[in-house]
């Protein structure tokens, strides 16, 4: 497998223009070619496509490293970088299980771009938006596949305990894949964008995988306050999801003075704003999820707990 792919990269690929992989159709053609190689070479390994896919991804990463090293450790971008997105699509198509290798691929991308917007934006805005926002087209076929691709990489990033540096306000901070700011969206995190756009279905995915709320709690309260007794369903759904992941509304939010109308309208239950104590079941959910988050085990670690199905769904934020 490695020899076939290396010959292809050294011969045919070298003759393509520098911007040859900027066009999504060309990336897809390359994906189809390597797919054929994986299927053909899998027969040598008793049809073990996992092994041949690993060899293909490793070869593509190594080729990127080789061209980068030859250029003084600076990525040459163009086709030499876009080859990593061919690897991204291959990982997803073959559902590669090797989390360490997938995380290595993500690190390679991040080292050159300092963002994962080409994976994240399509899942949030759909397949057409990335072309207008960042000047490229998503490698996934439709919005559903974009979301499935996001879930795949969120899962592998958690399994690989992936954390990456990001310079924010002159401070070098460590972020998980799910919380990294998106450069072309004003350096906002994916969760914040979902709140701004009012996307509770995608927000649920992010919360299940342990995305941090940050200052978004007050943001959703402010947005609801604008509607005065006639609240959009999607914004109410976002607030309800937020209330599932915190023991109570943060103390620094002045509820009674600023958000009394939301309490009066029943959007914030008494157990969340301090009128009565939170339910023990809810406090247990928050404590368990916190420990699973610390160990990069959300949401997969939930089903490893010796609990009935109903409790799994409760801990996974699917029921309340």
Residue 208, pLDDT > 90, answer yes
pLDDT digit string, tens, across residues 2-26? 777 888 787 777 778 888 888 888 8
What confidence score (pLDDT) does residue 132 get? 59
What are the backbone dihedrals phi and psi of residue 176, each rounded to the nearest 5 degrees, phi first? -80, 160
Give residue limits of the domains in the chain: 2-188, 216-315
pLDDT digit string, tens, across residues 145-183? 999 999 999 999 999 999 999 987 778 889 999 999 888
Q: What is the mean pLDDT of residues 107-119?
A: 92
What confidence score (pLDDT) does residue 130 get? 58
Instruction: Give the pLDDT band of residue 134 (cuts 50, 70, 90).
Output: low
pTM: 0.92
Comparison of pLDDT for 79 and 251, the residue scoring more: 79
Q: What is the mean pLDDT of residues 252-268?
A: 83
What's the mean per-residue pLDDT of the chain? 89
Share of the chain above pLDDT 70, in %: 97
What confidence score (pLDDT) does residue 133 get? 60
């Amino acid at each position: 497998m490695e020899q076939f792919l290396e010959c292809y990269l050294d011969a045919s690929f070298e003759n393509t223009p520098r911007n040859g992989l900027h066009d999504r159709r060309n990336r897809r053609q390359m994906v189809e070619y390597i797919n054929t190689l994986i299927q053909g070479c899998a027969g040598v390994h008793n049809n073990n496509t996992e092994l041949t896919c690993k060899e293909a991804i490793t070869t593509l990463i190594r080729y990127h490293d080789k061209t980068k090293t030859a250029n003084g450790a600076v990525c040459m971008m163009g086709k030499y970088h876009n080859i990593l997105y061919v690897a991204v699509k291959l990982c997803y198509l073959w559902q590669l299980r090797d989390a360490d290798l997938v995380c290595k691929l993500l690190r390679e991308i991040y080292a050159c771009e300092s963002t994962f917007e080409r994976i994240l934006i399509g899942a949030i805005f759909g397949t057409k938006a990335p072309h207008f926002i960042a000047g490229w087209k998503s490698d996934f076929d439709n919005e559903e596949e974009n979301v499935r691709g996001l879930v795949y990489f969120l899962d592998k990033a958690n399994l690989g305990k992936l954390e990456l540096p990001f310079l924010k306000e002159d401070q070098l901070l460590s972020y998980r894949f799910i919380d990294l700011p998106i450069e072309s969206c004003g350096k906002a995190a994916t969760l914040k964008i979902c709140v701004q756009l009012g996307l509770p279905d995608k927000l649920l995915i992010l919360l299940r995988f342990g995305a941090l709320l940050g200052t978004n709690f007050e943001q959703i309260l402010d947005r609801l306050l604008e509607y005065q007794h006639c609240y959009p369903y999607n914004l109410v759904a976002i607030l309800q999801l937020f209330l599932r992941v915190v023991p109570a509304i943060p103390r620094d939010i002045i509820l009674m003075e600023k958000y009394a109308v939301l309490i009066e309208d029943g959007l914030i239950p008494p157990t969340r704003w301090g009128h009565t104590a939170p339910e023990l079941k809810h406090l247990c959910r928050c404590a368990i999820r916190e420990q699973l988050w610390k160990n990069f085990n959300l949401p997969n670690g939930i089903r490893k707990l010796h609990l009935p199905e109903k409790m799994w769904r409760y801990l996974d934020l699917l029921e309340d």
